Every structure is written in C-alpha cells, then in structure tokens.
Amino acid sequence: MNPGPRRVSEENALGPRLLGPSARYQEGLLTMNHTAEQQDVRERFVIALIEATYPLKQETVDPEVTQELLIEAADLLREHLQAELAELRQEQSD
C-alpha cells in the first residue's frame, strides 16, 4: 500500500535543515541577505521542488540511481535558470 507523497513541513527533520538560516549554501554561493518575504518565496520553491521528487522516487527500482539522476537534473535546472537570468539581465540592459 502506497502512503502517498510525503510533505515537507516545519516539523519535518528535513525542513529546518534545508530551509532554516543555515540555508545559506554551505559552499558560500549565496551570500546576499534576503528579506523575510524573499526567504518565504525561496522556501516555497524548495518545498515544491522536494515534493516533486517524491513520486519519482516511488516509481523506481533502484533508489540510488534515481537519487543520482535527480541530483543531475537539479544541476541541469540550475544551469537553465542561470541562462534565463542572464538573458533577462541582457534584455534589461538593452
């Protein structure tokens, strides 16, 4: 029996670790301070992305390979979003 997708919440052990003040990426990639509103938006985005992975993980026969593929997909998403941001900045400067 499938219990359905898990939800990330404040009570979830994963939530505070990812979404709390320490979410300033450990590699130091994110250094700017965000307003409370920006932090809330970022938190909603992270929760949506995490929740989107649950069905994908449930449909797999090899959880380790699936996890690796999800990480690769996240890297591709990051590249895509960075390219969109560069394009947006270029359009704004023209």
Percent with pLDDT over 70 in the chain: 66
Q: For residues 50 and 88, state if they share a domain.
A: no
Q: For residues 38 and 66, state if they share a domain.
A: no
Confidence of residue 5 (pLDDT cuts 50, 70, 90): very low
Taking phi over 0 as left and psi of -120 to 50 as alpha, with beta for the rest, 16 belongs to alpha
- How many Cβ atoms sit within 10 Å of the Cβ of residue 49? 13
Q: For residues 55 and 73, state if they share a domain.
A: no
Instruction: Assign 84 to helix, strand or coil.
Output: helix
User: Between these two residues, 82 and 29, which has the higher pLDDT value?
Assistant: 82
pLDDT of amino acid 15: 47
Look up the domain containing 90 and give its range. Answer: 61-94
Mean of the pLDDT values across residues 52-61? 94
Count of the separate structural domains present in the chain: 2
What is the model's pTM?
A: 0.63
What is the C-alpha to C-alpha distance for residues 91 and 52, in angstroms, rounded to an integer? 31
Q: For residues 51 and 8, state if they share a domain.
A: yes
Q: For residues 17 and 4, state if they share a domain.
A: yes
